Amino acid sequence: MANWKDDLKDFFREGDIDRAQEKRDEKLRSEVKKFYLKTVQPAFKKLKKELERYGREVNVAVSESLAAIEVELEGRLELKYQVKVRDIHPYLEIHYQDAMGNVIWGEGNFREGSQRVEIFDLSTDEIIQNFLKEYKARLWVLYKKRATDI
């Protein structure tokens, strides 16, 4: 008789654990959403404003699961830069066209080294600086290649 009671007790105890995990997951989703809205979106808005001054067409999209900025010049993709989050660790995904028109993509980190960054540690300015590093590196290769073709 005691065995089934213990089994039932364990079942409900596991339910409490599941509800606690759901609450933690909801809190995490809320923190990630706040990260996109208060850290990433302002960085992308600043970048958009400046890049448009140089004739670029810039689109920004922010949702609960990612933030993206896409930069084109004369219909050619220069860089699509996305910020995504795994657990509480942001990472970036980039897409760009090489000199032959092939779309290349890859993932990257915001800081050098093995230490993982958390959403609480990343600033708007760091996102801007990282974007500029990736953007300039892609354009340098693209336009250097074009110049040698002439």
Amino acid 91: pLDDT: 93
Q: What domain range is 94 assigned to?
A: 35-149
Q: Residue 89: beta bridge partners?
A: 86
Judge whether 5 lies within some domain: no
Judge whether 27 lies within some domain: no
**Neighbouring C-alpha atoms within 13 Å toward the C-beta of 54:** 8
Judge whether 39 lies within some domain: yes
Judge whether 10 lies within some domain: no
Judge whether 83 lies within some domain: yes
For the chain, residues with pLDDT lower than 50 are 147
Count of the separate structural domains present in the chain: 1
Q: Residue 104: beta bridge partners?
A: 96
Judge whether 30 lies within some domain: no
Distance CA 115, CA 96 (A): 27
Amino acid 111: pLDDT: 80
pLDDT in tens, 58-83: 999 999 889 999 999 988 889 999 99
52, 58 Cβ separation under 8 angstroms: yes
Judge whether 92 lies within some domain: yes
Q: Estimate the crossing angle of helix 41-52 against helix 124-149, to 10 degrees.
A: 40
Amino acid 141: pLDDT: 59
Amino acid 2: pLDDT: 67
Residues in the chain: 150
| Of residues 35, 74, 50, the one with CA closest to residue 132 | 50
Predicted model pTM: 0.79
